[in-house]
Structure 1
Amino acid sequence: MPKNKAKKGKGRGFHDKGMNNDPLKGDGGNLQEDECLSEASSVTTANSDQLTEESVASDGVDGTSLEDIEMKLKEAIEGLSEKTAKYRQGCLSEIKKFFCTTWLVDFLENYRETLSDALERCLRKGKGEEQALAAEVVALLCVQYGAQGDGEDVFTYFKQILTTIILDKSASLAARSKCCLVLGILAFLASDDMGQVLLCMETFDVVFRGSFLKGDKTVPTLTPAQSDLHVNALSSWALLLSITPWLKVQEFAEKRLSRLPELMQSNDVMMRITAGETIALFFEICRSEDSEGMASHLVSKKELVDELSQLATDSNKFRAKKDRRHQRSSFRDILRAVQNGESPDDMIKFGSEVLYLDTWTTKRQYSNLKEILNTGMNFHLKENSLLRDIFQLGPALLDSNRNTKGSHFERHLYNQAVFKARSKARGKQRDKRTGFGT
């Protein structure tokens, strides 16, 4: 994975003694119809996500000045030491909002240790929603620092804390689920130690294997919260698979590829879709290494294609109509990927630019980052050099009138022309992470 690693000294920052002590203000169908819907939804405009991006880039949310934002952040960071859990949650929500939509690296120079210590307390001593919010802020902190090369410090500092919560069966399912998502993001963005990345993948594996068929080949009964936990664990595992060296991908394929189809029998639509997309990712990586035969050997391609075809045309009335549409649209793409080696053909508009999600690798990486950044994804795609590097967007544009949409045919030709080059580049990126020791 491309990185900017202009490493700075660790342990910078100090506890600010000039914080404002004022309290934080605020409260803590049919197939034809599906195909039309799928075609329409393949172009994601994200208009609802936009927050007047020009004002966000220069001044912050809704035109708020940077000075006002920094003042509110000081109050919110100080508020994390308050005794009332609801108040701390309000502070975390405030910090999360500004981290999503404002560039704050310079401000954080003076609050690094203060904020890290406060987030650690929220994760260790908080419960449920507080832990989930604190975990999200940790991920956003890594996104903010990542472009400066300091994200690895965030990963190192919080890895064990997040892992402990994920594996703690007495902890809130919502908190464990969010910690799975966040730990995957931290390892993806910030860790160059493949041994640590593999340890994170093992943690996720321990969680999502609970959705495999039971010994009698029946589907386990899970609550919606348990299913969400397993889905986030699997999606984070797949995210790290996308940057795993080929040698380790082969080992994971031998261990897990034959069992992933079991997850497509889950009662949860997102688990079925995430499992299918993970299988498509496996086949894409194998094709990039000219080893598709290995994947077909480990899992019967004919049986897999039959199962994917059934899910792509599923009309079971006991499933919600919205779930059926989402499933059929997703599995038509997954079926084409496994059967014919086709890539996704989605695009994300942000400002005057367009990001093409034309591989299963980029689609998984975008999906996980969007889960954390939410409405701030467009802003960070425009301004954050680390994300622009990951998605090969180049330097941030100065000309906001640039039009990069292109026709569907042009995108198709472009995808064909660069597929082999990207496969080679992805292989080189995997080879950079060669430390396999744990």
Structure 2
Amino acid sequence: MPRNLAKKAGKQQTRMAALDKLGTPASSRAGSEDEADDSLSEISAISAAAAAADEETLVDDQLRHCVDDLGEKRTSVREAALTKLDRLLARYYCGDFFESNPSSQEAMLQLLVRSLRKPGSTLEAILAAKGIGLVFINDGDEQEELFGMVLSLLKNTITDALDVRLKHQCIETLALITLIAASNADTRGGLDYFFKILISNGESLQPDEKLKQGAMDELLCTSLRAYGLLYAALFGDGRGTWEDAWDESQGVMPAHIDFLESTSKENRVAAGENVALMFDCVQVSHKHAQEMSEFEVEDKPEYEEIDDLVDMLQRLSTDSNRRVNKQDRKEQKSAFRDIIRSVEEGSRPKQKLKIGGQNMLFRGWARIIMLAAFRSFLGAGLAQHLQENELLENVLASGISNGTASEDEESESEEEEEAGEGFEMEDDMSLSKSAASKRERARRLKRSKKL
């Protein structure tokens, strides 16, 4: 058999295997394309009185229609299928769909990988990259092997893609699935990966044609937030040791201080939030170590340039530069007020969500940053996933209360537990060597700038 025909036959077999694993739609495929395209509106039109099982059946049916259309030749059909698929996975918790067939997640990822690796359009690739993240959110158990299946492709796309939007989406997806599915070692590797992007000012993201400064600033902001997310994953709420959290923060602090002086407001805020996160994590881990240890715990060292850092944060929290538009000044001031309180006073921010009659309280930078990452993917579907998806509950470990607003305010005035329940201290996270290397690279970079 000629090589091209064998290759085509292999692709067809892969597609058919994926479709067989996912099953066929419960409803008939007979009918016009317009009828299929209208099916999402039919789902949204289900009355509140409809049985949950009926809604779940309709959602599963639509997922299978989307999967079937992903194998079509026409790019426009695949784009429409990916748009629907992403909307369904974000709006509804579809864990039962994957649990019904243990191999269905891998089968769906195979189809998404195909659309990302050889897309018919940039839009198809962007939708596929987001879909990969949404699949991991919807089936959060034991996904380390599947993480390895998409890791190289996402990294290669971040480096080689020419479209900034695609790079941005792949960075977001890589950070989120690392949070969800990666081992501690792979999470540390992700931390180093995003640090290299930051310390090089995005040089590793440059394709053959140089990116404009605005586009590069957007990617650097996304990388800052990705770094913060993985730092929160490793050290938030008492995870890891305070020594490792401290060493890592000292290694990357010079790069973050450089970004505090960025011309981009988004970069300044993202860097500031990471700085506050690192101070918060070290403080919480140190306090947790003191409470858990039977012996005296070494005192937490002070950051050597704390006065200069506080002065810089103070300026950013009161910036009245009229060359910056009024809305940007307002957003920056609001963000840096919380940031400086965390750095200078050890104060921890709080964020409330009221869902299903319950007040969900997210305390500390780590949980707030993780919540923002899930919100970016799920949008309006965040509320349903918080109620039904155990993955979010396990990752965020949020406090839930059923009290009235006044009761909540009273409870918040009291000292709350600093370290999240259910997290165990891990003693095998030795980052001192890599942190020292990062500090040296940061010093070399600063010296080269001065020269």
TM over 0.5: yes
Query: For this structure pair, what is the TM-score category when the shorter chain's length is used for normalisation?
Result: 0.7 to 0.9
Which residue is 1:30 aligned to?
Answer: none
| Structure 1: segments with no counterpart, 5+ residues | 1-10, 28-50, 214-219
The residue correspondences of 1:343-382 to structure 2 (distance < 5 A) are 343-382=348-387
Which residue is 2:254 aligned to?
Answer: 258
Distance 2:115 2:412 in 1: 48
| Structure 2: segments with no counterpart, 5+ residues | 1-16, 39-43, 204-209, 235-239, 287-297, 435-451
Which residue is 1:161 aligned to?
Answer: 153
Deviations 1:262-294 (A, max 9, x none): 101222222111100100011112212448853
| Alpha-carbon distance change, 436 to 210 in structure 1, aligned in 2, over 3 angstroms | closer
User: What amino acid is aligned across from residue 83 of structure 1 in structure 2?
Assistant: K
Paired residue for 1:132, among 121, 126, 132? 126
TM-score under structure 2 normalisation? 0.75
Structure 1 stretch displaced more, 203-212 or 379-388? 203-212
User: What amino acid is aligned across from residue 389 of structure 2 in structure 1?
Assistant: N
Distance 1:106 1:345 in 2: 32
TM-score under structure 1 normalisation? 0.77
Which residue is 2:266 aligned to?
Answer: 270
Deviations 1:201-226 (A, max 9, x none): 2222232334499xxxxxx9953332
RMSD across aligned C-alpha pairs, in angstroms? 3.6
The residue correspondences of 1:1-400 to structure 2 (distance < 5 A) are 14-16=20-22, 18=24, 21=29, 23=33, 25-26=36-37, 55=48, 59=52, 65-108=55-98, 109-110=100-101, 111-126=104-119, 127-146=121-140, 149-168=141-160, 170-191=161-182, 193-211=183-201, 223-244=213-234, 245-246=240-241, 247-290=243-286, 294=301, 296-297=303-304, 300-393=305-398
The 3-state SS of whatever aligns with 2:321 is coil
Rg larger for:
2
| Identical pairs, percent | 22
Report the alpha carbon displacement of residue 323 of structure 1 after superposing the two structures with TM. 1.3
Distance 1:207 1:256 in 2: 12
CA contact (8 A) 2:187 2:230 kept: yes
Distance 1:435 1:285 in 2: 15
Distance 1:210 1:411 in 2: 45
- The alignment of Structure 1 onto Structure 2 pairs a total of residues equal to 382
Which residue is 1:41 aligned to?
Answer: none
CA contact (8 A) 1:162 1:179 kept: yes
User: What amino acid is aligned across from residue 118 of structure 2 in structure 1?
Assistant: K
The 3-state SS of whatever aligns with 2:139 is helix
CA contact (8 A) 1:345 1:358 kept: yes
- Higher percent of residues as helix: 2
Report the alpha carbon displacement of residue 303 of structure 1 after superposing the two structures with TM. 0.8
The 3-state SS of whatever aligns with 1:347 is strand
Distance 2:47 2:430 in 1: 41
The 3-state SS of whatever aligns with 2:233 is coil
CA contact (8 A) 1:263 1:271 kept: yes
Which residue is 1:217 aligned to?
Answer: none
CA contact (8 A) 1:283 1:295 kept: no
Report the alpha carbon displacement of residue 80 of structure 1 after superposing the two structures with TM. 1.2
Distance 2:301 2:47 in 1: 49
- Asked which structure has the greater RCO (Cα within 8 Å, sep 6+), the reply is 1
Deviations 1:277-327 (A, max 9, x none): 100011112212448853512xx1111111111111111122222211111
